[in-house]
Amino acid sequence: MALYRQGEIRVKGIILMANETARNIGPVIVLGPPGAGKGTQAKRIVDRYGIPQISTGDLLRDNVGRGTKLGLEAKAIMARGELVPDELIYGIVSSRLREADCQRGFVLDGFPRTAAQARWLDAALEKEILDKSQSGKSEKCPPIVIQLLVDYNQLLLRLTGRRSCPTCGRLYNIHFQPPRVDELCDVDGSKLLTRSDDREDVISERLAAYESQTKPVADYYRAQRRLVVVNADRTMDEIAAQIFGVIDRHGQGAGGGNAQLESAS
């Protein structure tokens, strides 16, 4: 009996995963202050739904690392914790959105970050993405917008404690999710890195930029009745479960409308 149940669950699990990685998800936008867990949750969405993560922070850091023209322009701005000018961001986002793996949807992590970027994205999605499907038919899939809310002191711990593996990209946190061996990646043993903008003086600039420039983005989507606010002061699994619920309900045709999702106690 126990074996039969196990098999049944496994089969159902496989069917569920097949559905999740076949259907159109559309754009998923994850908003939130620095350290809220946008990247962490974006990776969970990638794993479950098989759509790519587009992190403007990662794209910029990649350009900085390769010393491209964009990277040279962005490097000092990022080091100060300020936002890179919108015009520099539009180019990398639009070329990434045109890649074939974005056909079924994508997770935007760290974009849009200004009200102007949000308006630009709406226009770009309308023109380039939403009217286009693989079959050539018009198939609109409006964005799902999730805002992660986290207590200020928790944000500071998440940012100052963050470490990442330069080889596999896995994220750790010395306070909440430490590696088995201090400063070494569990997966490949690489020495973990601290992001250069996770210093306290830069963190305060990043949080100030969020308050003044990025909070209006949530207002923009609230006015469109698209904003879903998730209490992200909980475990990564609890937050992920709520986000999956939002995405699944959206896929079942639940329309717009702002929602507050409270902590499951």
32: left (phi over 0), alpha (psi -120 to 50) or beta: left
Structure tokens at 33: 């202050």
Q: Which residues contact 44 (CB under 8 A, 6 or more apart)?
A: 236, 240, 243, 244
Between 79 and 141, CB nearer to ligand AP5 = 79
Residue 260 belongs to what H/E stretch? strand 259-261
- The residue from 43, 113, 163, 226 that is catalytic is 113
Q: How many residues does the chain have?
A: 265
Q: Give the Cβ contact number of residue 78 at 10 Å.
A: 20
37 binds ligand AP5, rule: CB under 6 A: yes
Between 117 and 242, CB nearer to ligand AP5 = 117
CB of 224 to ligand AP5, least distance (A): 19
**For ligand AP5, what does the binding mask look like between residues 78 and 117, x meaning CB under 6 A?**
x--xxxx----x--------------------xx-x---x
- The residue from 80, 170, 195, 234 that is catalytic is 195
Among 171, 184, 259, 261, binds ligand AP5 (CB under 6 A): 171
162 binds ligand AP5, rule: CB under 6 A: yes
Buried b (16+ CB within 10 A) or exposed e, 247-264: beebbeeeeeebeebeee
Among 12, 68, 101, 176, binds ligand AP5 (CB under 6 A): 176
CB of 18 to ligand AP5, least distance (A): 28
For residues 121 and 96, give the distance between their C-alpha atoms in angstroms, rounded to a whole number.
Answer: 13
179 binds ligand AP5, rule: CB under 6 A: no
- Could you confirm whether 206 is annotated as catalytic? yes
For residues 143 and 145, give the distance between their C-alpha atoms in angstroms, rounded to a whole number.
Answer: 6
Residue 26 belongs to what H/E stretch? strand 26-31
CB of 239 to ligand AP5, least distance (A): 6
Query: How many CA atoms, within 13 angstroms, populate the side-chain half-sphere of residue 14?
Result: 5
Among 26, 27, 39, 105, binds ligand AP5 (CB under 6 A): 39
Residue number, nearest CB to ligand AP5: 57
Point out the residues that are catalytic.
38, 113, 162, 195, 206
Residues that bind ligand AP5 (CB under 6 A): 32, 34-40, 56-57, 60, 77-78, 81-84, 89, 110-111, 113, 117, 158, 161-162, 171, 173, 176-177, 197, 206, 235-236, 239
